[in-house]
């Protein structure tokens, strides 16, 4: 069934990919930048880990809900106002975290801060609005920036905490949010040229997306690939410590190499998107991502005691996910272009839900 045009056409928009990359990076940076500061936050706010874990689990759960609804609202009201709203709330939430005097004010501010996660799917939808079939390549470049942020976030957060205290992390995030808000206010055009006439008209078209096998194919691929990737990243520290007694510095180097693999795959996806089809790139990405752990498992079963030979092949996980994730994102928002925002939000919601199913239960000792 073909999707219906449910809006009023406007002039062709333009889009600055630097803005998109910054938005994608900003949407994931708050997840990792404050992790090294958790012990100091526990101590300063006089709260135990069970309560403060809501700053992670609650943040992730709220992010899934926000991505679902904000993506849909961007089809109704446009990409620009939703992105500006998410950045404004993010800045306010970051200021609240920096000024928090107890655990509950900190958690409330963290939940407000989670609004920034909706800028990722809305930005992806904006890329689809402007670049159409070439969206996969552009998303690949943006994904490179999004992969760099969580890799550098803990290092930056640890440095800020050591020099200025844990609150500096949130002052920096507030500053980044404010600057990006101004940048988007000045430079971000509205890319949605077929604005939905009403929420009712949009909801009437929404079941078309839900019944699309192509959409679910792209989304399940995205959810499973990112879920397995994050399960690997969270499981490796414990395994490496128990089996190989790796130092934090050595472990960081191996995990950084895997993230570098993701960036490389994303760059290749963007560089050769015109030459490779979405399906072909996704298939090769999944093959590489599966071969990495299989090679590592085989080497481990052979009894090697060299950590390099066990963990190095897992860089293929990063490369494979970097190849397939931009294509899956581009495919999901291209199934029904008039519902690109809803598709991006729903795909993001399902991805976060899938990630939570893959993540192991870890305790802070």
What is the predicted pLDDT for the residue at 212?
Answer: 86
> Do 320 and 219 belong to one domain?
yes
What is the predicted pLDDT for the residue at 129?
Answer: 79
> Do 141 and 12 belong to one domain?
yes
Q: Where are the beta strands (DSSP E) in 231-314?
A: none
DSSP conformational letter for 12: P
> Do 192 and 229 belong to one domain?
no
In a domain, 161, yes or no: yes
> Do 84 and 32 belong to one domain?
yes
Q: Which pLDDT tens digit goes with each residue over 237-280?
A: 667 767 777 766 676 677 777 778 888 887 787 777 677 778 88
In a domain, 359, yes or no: no
- Structural domain including 12 reads 8-200
> Do 45 and 147 belong to one domain?
yes
In a domain, 334, yes or no: no
What is the predicted pLDDT for the residue at 271?
Answer: 74
CA 304 remoteness from chain centre: 35
Q: Which pLDDT tens digit goes with each residue over 91-114?
A: 999 999 999 999 899 999 999 999
Closest CA to 334 of 136, 66, 80: 136
The partner residues of 195 in beta bridges, in order of sequence, read 8
Q: Which pLDDT tens digit goes with each residue over 198-224?
A: 666 666 666 887 888 888 888 888 888
> Do 240 and 123 belong to one domain?
no
**Six-digit token pair at 75?**
């089809």
Alpha-carbon gap, residue 135 to 114, rounded angstroms: 26
Phi and psi at residue 238, in whole multiples of 5°? -65, -45
> Do 196 and 265 belong to one domain?
no
> Do 189 and 228 belong to one domain?
no
**Six-digit token pair at 222?**
């995205």
Alpha-carbon gap, residue 301 to 310, rounded angstroms: 10
- Residues 87 and 70 sit within 8 Å (Cβ to Cβ): no
∠ at Cα 232 (231, 235), nearest 5°? 80
> Do 165 and 59 belong to one domain?
yes
Half-sphere exposure (CA, 13 Å, Cβ side) for 125? 38
> Do 223 and 147 belong to one domain?
no
- Residues 319 and 264 sit within 8 Å (Cβ to Cβ): yes
Domain-ending residue, one of 200, 227, 246: 200
**What's the chain's average pLDDT?**
79
In a domain, 155, yes or no: yes
> Do 180 and 218 belong to one domain?
no
In this structure, the number of other CB atoms found within 10 A of the CB of residue 281 comes to: 24
The arithmetic mean of pLDDT across residues 149-178, rounded, is: 87
What is the predicted pLDDT for the residue at 8?
Answer: 36
**Six-digit token pair at 354?**
């899938």
> Do 130 and 239 belong to one domain?
no
Q: How confident is the model at residue 283 (pLDDT cuts 50, 70, 90)?
A: confident
- Residues 120 and 24 sit within 8 Å (Cβ to Cβ): yes
Residue 56 has pLDDT above 90, yes or no: no
Report the domain count for the chain.
Answer: 2
């Amino acid at each position: 069934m073909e999707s219906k045009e449910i809006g009023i056409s406007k002039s062709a928009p333009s889009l600055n990919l630097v803005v998109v990359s910054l938005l994608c990076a900003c949407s994931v940076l708050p997840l990792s930048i404050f992790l090294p500061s958790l012990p100091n936050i526990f101590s300063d706010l006089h709260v135990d880990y069970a309560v403060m874990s809501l700053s992670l689990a609650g943040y992730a759960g709220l992010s899934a809900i926000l991505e679902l609804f904000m993506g849909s609202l961007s089809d109704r009201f446009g990409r620009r106002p939703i992105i500006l709203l998410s950045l404004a709330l993010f800045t306010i939430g970051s200021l609240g975290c920096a000024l928090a005097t107890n655990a509950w004010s900190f958690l409330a501010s963290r939940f407000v801060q989670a609004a920034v996660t909706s800028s990722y799917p809305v930005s992806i939808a904006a890329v689809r609005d402007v670049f159409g079939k070439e969206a996969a390549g552009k998303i690949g470049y943006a994904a490179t920036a999004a992969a760099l942020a969580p890799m550098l976030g803990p290092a930056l957060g640890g440095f800020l905490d050591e020099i200025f205290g844990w609150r500096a992390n949130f002052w920096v995030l507030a500053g980044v949010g404010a600057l990006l808000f101004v940048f988007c206010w000045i430079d971000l055009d509205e890319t949605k040229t077929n604005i939905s006439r009403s929420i009712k008209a949009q909801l009437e078209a929404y079941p078309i997306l839900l019944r699309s096998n192509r959409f679910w194919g792209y989304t399940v691929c995205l959810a499973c690939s990112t879920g397995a990737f994050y399960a690997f990243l969270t499981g490796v520290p414990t395994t490496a410590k128990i089996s190989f007694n790796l130092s934090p510095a050595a472990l960081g180097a191996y995990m950084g190499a895997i993230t570098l693999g993701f960036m490389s795959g994303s760059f290749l996806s963007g560089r050769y998107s015109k030459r490779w089809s979405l399906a072909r790139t996704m298939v090769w990405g999944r093959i590489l991502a599966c071969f990495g752990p299989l090679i590592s498992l085989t080497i481990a079963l052979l009894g090697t005691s060299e950590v390099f030979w066990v963990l190095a092949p897992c860089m293929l996980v990063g490369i494979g996910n970097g190849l397939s994730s931009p294509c899956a994102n581009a495919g999901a928002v291209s199934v029904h272009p008039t519902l690109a925002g809803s598709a991006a939000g729903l795909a993001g919601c399902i991805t976060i839900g899938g990630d939570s199913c893959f993540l192991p239960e870890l305790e802070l000792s």
